[in-house]
Structures are given as structure tokens and as C-alpha cells.
């Protein structure tokens, strides 16, 4: 473990020895059974991360009562009937050598009645969504404190090594702490000490319930970054009160459900370790260990944080979804083998927000560990994959690992396809290391890669392969714009790859993810850019956190984004648009950058099907796809062949 001595030092917290300083933080998965019990899929998901070498796993938020859930398939701990399945979870994690903590949560106002079946409750009737929450009575407050204590006892009986009380992200405990959401005038509201009373009493009751030898952690928001919300200075006053009440470690995140940009799950648009100053601030005022979290994907950065005394442990969440084996790989010095998280938030946050189960764009087996093992092929065959984008690369990698003889043919001089194009803007260069990882894995798996090779359906039948995988992607669709010519227009991918220039004024046709990103790229180069989007919403194909940062970056650079706007013509060097029924011309001369849709190419290979025992179409070759869908299709087909 060169240069990582601090990261792999054990630490003992109230008698609990953790073998290293790497923590898997709680992340909702929607993998639980519908009744809130731990499913086999959920257990395997955590066991996989435990086998990868992480020191401590803090399990996703477990609801302390059925009527306070915030997610459709949320793990629960409100009934003794949950203990047996949770015991299976803790046993599997312990067998793999990791410690495991249960996170206890009451979602407060941050849910909707459609999930728990009742109107949400909160300290004050301050809505976050459309529903106005019920203001908690004094009697109900005390009952909820008892619910936390009862849940902690169940966690201990289920074999958890510790509990973490969720006091962050705008859930119930934060709602009491924050002047933004707590407008009470009784003993649970008003001044800072009164607002902290509920948190302190929860900790005290949990401590009394679990006894003096059982660790109790707490997750807090170092600040909320909303008007009238908690500040770091306020949290530096509150944190010692939590320790005095019985907390053994503080896990420092940020924000609530109204915080702009979802900084607690920072995307690739944000610098690494954006929350570190908050962890450092809390650590400066408490005597117990502090966990730093959020976009700390690099083990060397994690080690540096601990070495410099800014935190005592480092939580890697999405990175352990991407590569569960990072702790072991880093300890053994196998850094090139670590599959990097690209902080896209598509498979993790995006899926869960839609009520689906967690997964990962670069690791499609995440959340599907039971259904997607890589097993040796019963009948190894010769496979040809046409196209070196994400779907083609993943298909080839998995098929080769299973023992097939795989050749991948790519017409360009580099692998990556549209994934490579997507990584060109400086805000998305986190994508590029994932492409490099895939390329290295192809080499290690023995895939024969042919670059700069264009093949036709007639050529491919002469290859002598038994299986053909068509991953040829899609071509940009030519929009119906009068006067559009190759001289006054260019495809976005050609701009991003540096193959085409533009005039000083640019009109980007299409305000989806690719349109917004090429607009920002060109604005950085000094172009005067306008985006024309036909629908009412720009960035509709982006997860909300990425959309926020993409639109903010354009606003900061003065890029105009025109929705409900259609480019109908190019006349005299100017782009003619129709907006709100009014026709107007944007100043010219302009270059029209096309980001307005793609046409699949898979149909061009149908004539070859009779020459192969199997033909599969993956990614954009089959239909327009996101990278998340393309990687999953590649992973699935690679296992099917």
C-alpha cells in the first residue's frame, strides 16, 4: 500500500476496532423487499462491498416506523420481524471481514403521503413538496424519540456493530435543528439550544437503550446552504452538544432537500471533496472521530485528508458502487485496476429517485450481483464486436472474461465512441478515466482490438466468427432546416473532438444534455452561443443534479437558452427561429451546431444475420440510448453469448 499508510491504519471507537479508515456511507438502494425487510439482492449487494475490503459499512437509512418512509422499497427496522433478515445481512458482512452499522431515520417532511400512506410530520408545517406536513405534538415527539431507541435495540439484536442516527439532509432531526424548518415556540424551538433539544434527547435515549459499550454515530449536515438554514458556525456549536449527549463519531455531509445542486451527492461538474471544509470545521470543535464524505474517489486523496488531520475516516459511496474492490486493490497497489466512479449520478441517484433499484453506469452489476455473475462460457466461440463505444467495449470485455475469442473492430483511431465525445468538455472529463479502464481491461482479457478499421456487412461475413455483436452506434439526424448546408453547420461530436471549427456566433440546435454541454464548451472557447430547444424544458434527459450545474454554468457564461424555440432556416448567414409564434433572425454569421437527435445504424447489418449463429444489437445501434442503458445492454449480452 505505497503512500497509503494512514488509510489502512485501524481505529477503535468505543471498543469497536475498524480495520481501516474507509467507510461505505449509507445510500438508499430500493433493494429491500416491499415489506421493508432485507432481500437477498440487498444482502448480496452489501456482502460484495464487504468482500472488497472496506473497513466499515453504514447501511442505508432504515426507517424507525412504517409511516415515516421516504422511498418505496426502503429498508426498515420498526418491527422485531425485521431482525431475522437483518441478522443474515450482518452475518454476511462479518464473514467478509467488515464492520457494519445501522442508520436510523425518520424522514420528517421529506416524503409524500403516497409512500407511507399518511401525511408527513415535521416540527412545523413548512412544506418542501406540495403537501403541508402535520406539526408534531409534544406527545408525538416523545414517542418518536422512543421509536429511535427501540430501533437501536433491534439493530443491536440483529448483530450490527453500531448505530448511526440520521441527523442530516433535511430529515426530521435536521428539521428540528434548523431555523429554516423549525418555527416552534415551545421547548423544542426558538434558540439554538432549544432546537437541538430533540436531537440531544434522541441520542440520550438511544445511548440508554444500547448501553455504554455500543458505539453511537450521528450524521449531520455541516450547513444547509438555503436561506435561513443551518450554517457551519451554528453546527460547530451544536456538534459538541451531540458528543456530550453520547455520540462517538460524527459523519459530516451537507444540505437538505432544498439545497441547490444536490451538493451532498456532487456530480462531475463539482471539484473533488467539496464538503471537506465542513468536516474539518466540525473536527476542530469535537474530540470524537469525524468522517468526511462526498466525491472522494481517490485513495491517495483519502489518505492525504487523514494525514493532514482534516478527518479521521473517509467515506466512499458511489466509488464503492463503481468498484467494490477498491479497498483491496489500493492496499495491494493495483491502482490501474480500480474502476473509477465518474460522478454522473445516473445509475445511483437517478434510478433511486425514479423509484427503481440502485445500479451504476460503469458497473452494471451493481445492485444486480445475484443475477449478473460472470461465469465461464459452456461453449467458447469466436465473437466479433463492431463498434468501440461503451456498449461494444463492455460486451467484448465480459465475453472475453467468460472465455470467448473476441475481436473488437472500431473505425476511429480511439476507443470510446460517444462516451469519448461526452468526456471532451472540461466539466465531464471524469468520464475519460473510465474509458481508459475499459481499454486496459480489454487488453488484459485478451480482446483483439482493431482500430482505424472500417468494415461493411459484406466484409464481416468473411471473418469466420460465430457470433456478431453490432455496436455501431447512431448517426446524427439531419433536421428539416431550410438552407442548412455542410458549410454553415457542423455536428456537435465533430466540434468536441476538435475536427471542426465554428464562426464566432453559434446556434446549438437541441437543448438536451449534449446540446448544453457543447454550448458550454464553445462558450469557454469564446464563442457567442445561443441554444434553441423545441420543448419547454432544457436538459430534460439529465438527472436533476447535473441539469442544475449545466444550466448554472451556461447562465454564468452568458449563454442564452431559448426553450419552445425552433430553428426553421438559415438565411443570409443568420439563423431564423420561431418562438412563441413569432419569427425572428438571430445575428450572424452563425454556425449551426446539430444536437437534435440520432438515427440508429443497426438495421444496416440485418443482411448478415444468416451468416452467424447469433447476432446481437446493443446501445445506440438498436435504438437511441443513454450511456447507462448502453453499458447495461453490453454487460447483459456479454453474459448471454
| Active site (catalytic) residues | 171
Question: How much helix, strand and coil, in percent to the nearest 5, is found in the chain?
Answer: 35, 20, 45
| Alpha-carbon dihedral sign for residues 328, 333, 335, 341 | positive
* Rounded CA separation 48/57 (Å): 11
For residue 225, which of 238, 216, 235 has the smallest C-alpha distance?
235
> If we measure between CA atoms, which residue out of 104, 120, 124 comes closest to residue 112?
120
CA 231 to CA 407: how far, in whole Å?
56
Task: Based on DSSP, count helices (H) and strands (E) in the chain, helices before strands.
Answer: 20, 27
Do 590 and 485 contact (CB within 8 A), yes or no?
Answer: no
With contact defined as beta carbons under 8 Å apart, do 380 and 405 qualify? Answer: yes
- Longest CA pairwise span in the chain (Å): 82
Q: How far apart are CA 46 and CA 186, in angstroms?
A: 42
Q: Which residues contact 100 (CB under 8 A, 6 or more apart)?
A: 46, 50, 56, 57, 58, 59, 89, 90, 93, 94, 159, 160, 161
Measured CA distances, 429 to 141, 326, 510, 546, 563 (Å): 47, 21, 22, 14, 27
- 227 exposure class (CB count in 10 Å sphere: 0-12, 13-18, 19+): exposed
Q: How many CB atoms lie within 10 A of CB 446?
A: 12
Q: How many CB atoms lie within 10 A of CB 334?
A: 12
Backbone angles phi, psi at 330, to 5 degrees: -65, -40
Q: Which three cell numbers stand for residue 102?
A: 445501522
How far is the C-alpha of 506 from the C-alpha of 45, rounded, in Å?
47
Whether the CB-CB separation of 120 and 77 falls below 8 Å is answered with no
Contact 242, 211 (CB under 8 A): no
How many other C-beta atoms lie within 10 A of the C-beta of residue 53?
23
Amino acid at each position: 500500500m505505497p503512500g497509503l499508510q494512514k488509510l489502512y491504519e485501524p481505529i477503535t471507537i468505543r471498543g469497536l476496532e475498524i480495520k481501516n479508515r474507509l467507510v461505505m456511507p449509507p445510500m438508499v438502494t430500493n433493494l429491500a423487499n416491499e415489506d421493508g425487510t432485507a432481500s437477498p439482492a440487498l444482502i448480496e449487494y452489501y456482502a460484495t462491498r464487504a468482500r472488497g475490503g472496506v473497513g466499515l459499512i453504514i447501511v442505508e437509512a432504515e426507517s424507525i416506523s412504517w409511516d415515516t418512509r421516504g422511498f418505496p422499497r426502503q429498508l426498515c427496522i420498526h418491527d422485531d420481524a425485521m431482525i431475522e433478515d437483518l441478522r443474515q445481512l450482518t452475518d454476511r458482512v462479518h464473514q467478509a471481514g467488515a464492520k457494519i452499522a445501522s442508520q436510523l431515520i425518520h424522514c420528517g417532511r421529506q416524503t409524500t403521503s403516497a409512500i407511507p400512506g399518511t401525511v408527513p410530520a415535521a416540527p412545523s408545517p413548512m412544506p418542501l413538496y406540495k403537501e403541508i406536513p402535520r406539526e408534531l405534538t409534544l406527545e408525538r415527539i416523545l414517542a418518536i424519540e422512543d421509536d429511535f431507541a427501540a430501533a437501536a435495540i433491534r439493530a443491536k439484536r440483529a448483530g450490527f456493530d453500531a448505530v448511526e442516527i440520521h441527523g442530516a439532509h433535511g430529515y426530521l432531526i435536521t428539521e428540528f435543528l434548523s431555523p429554516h424548518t423549525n418555527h416552534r415556540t415551545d421547548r423544542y424551538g426558538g434558540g439554538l439550544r432549544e432546537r437541538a433539544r430533540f436531537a440531544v434527547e434522541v441520542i440520550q435515549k438511544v445511548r440508554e437503550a444500547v448501553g455504554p459499550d455500543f458505539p453511537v454515530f450521528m450524521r449531520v449536515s455541516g450547513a444547509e446552504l438555503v436561506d435561513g438554514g443551518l450554517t457551519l458556525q451554528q453546527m460547530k456549536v451544536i456538534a459538541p452538544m451531540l458528543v456530550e449527549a453520547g455520540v462517538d463519531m460524527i459523519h459530516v455531509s451537507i444540505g437538505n432537500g432544498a439545497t441547490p445542486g444536490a451538493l451532498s451527492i456532487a456530480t462531475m461538474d463539482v471539484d473533488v471533496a467539496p464538503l471537506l471544509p465542513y468536516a474539518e470545521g466540525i473536527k476542530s470543535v469535537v474530540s470524537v472521530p469525524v468522517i468526511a464524505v462526498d466525491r472522494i474517489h481517490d485513495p491517495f486523496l483519502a489518505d492525504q485528508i487523514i494525514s493532514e488531520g482534516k478527518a479521521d475516516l473517509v467515506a466512499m459511496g458511489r466509488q464503492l458502487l463503481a468498484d467494490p474492490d477498491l479497498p483491496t486493490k489500493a492496499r495491494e497497489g493495483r491502482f490501474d485496476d480500480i474502476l473509477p466512479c465518474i460522478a454522473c449520478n445516473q445509475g445511483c441517484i437517478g434510478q433511486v429517485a425514479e423509484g427503481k433499484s440502485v445500479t451504476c453506469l460503469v458497473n452494471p452489476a451493481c445492485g444486480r450481483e445475484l443475477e449478473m455473475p460472470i461465469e465461464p462460457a459452456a461453449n467458447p466461440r469466436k465473437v466479433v464486436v463492431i463498434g468501440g463505444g461503451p456498449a461494444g467495449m463492455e460486451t467484448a470485455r465480459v465475453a472475453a472474461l467468460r472465455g470467448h475469442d473476441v475481436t473488437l473492430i472500431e473505425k476511429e483511431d480511439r476507443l470510446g465512441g460517444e462516451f469519448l465525445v461526452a468526456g471532451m468538455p472540461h466539466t465531464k472529463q471524469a468520464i475519460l478515466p473510465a474509458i481508459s479502464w475499459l481499454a486496459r481491461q480489454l487488453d488484459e482479457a485478451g480482446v483483439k482490438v482493431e482500430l482505424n478499421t472500417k468494415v461493411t456487412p459484406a466484409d464481416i461475413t468473411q471473418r469466420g466468427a460465430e457470433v456478431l455483436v453490432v455496436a455501431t452506434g447512431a448517426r446524427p439526424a439531419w433536421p428539416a432546416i431550410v438552407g442548412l448546408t455542410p458549410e454553415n453547420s457542423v455536428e456537435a461530436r465533430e466540434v468536441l473532438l476538435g475536427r471542426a471549427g465554428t464562426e464566432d456566433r453559434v446556434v446549438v440546435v437541441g437543448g438536451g444534455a449534449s446540446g448544453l454541454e457543447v454550448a458550454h464548451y464553445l462558450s469557454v472557447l469564446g464563442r457567442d452561443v445561443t441554444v434553441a430547444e423545441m420543448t419547454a424544458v432544457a436538459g430534460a434527459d439529465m438527472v436533476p443534479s447535473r441539469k442544475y450545474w449545466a444550466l448554472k454554468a451556461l447562465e454564468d457564461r452568458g449563454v442564452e437558452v431559448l426553450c419552445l424555440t425552433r430553428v426553421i432556416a438559415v438565411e443570409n448567414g443568420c439563423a431564423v427561429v420561431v418562438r412563441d409564434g413569432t419569427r425572428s433572425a438571430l445575428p450572424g454569421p452563425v454556425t449551426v451546431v446539430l444536437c437534435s437527435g440520432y438515427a440508429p445504424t443497426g438495421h444496416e447489418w440485418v443482411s448478415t444475420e444468416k451468416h452467424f449463429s447469433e447476432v446481437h444489437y446493443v446501445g445506440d445501434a438498436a435504438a437511441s440510448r443513454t450511456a447507462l442503458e448502453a453499458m447495461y445492454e453490453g454487460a447483459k449480452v456479454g453474459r448471454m453469448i
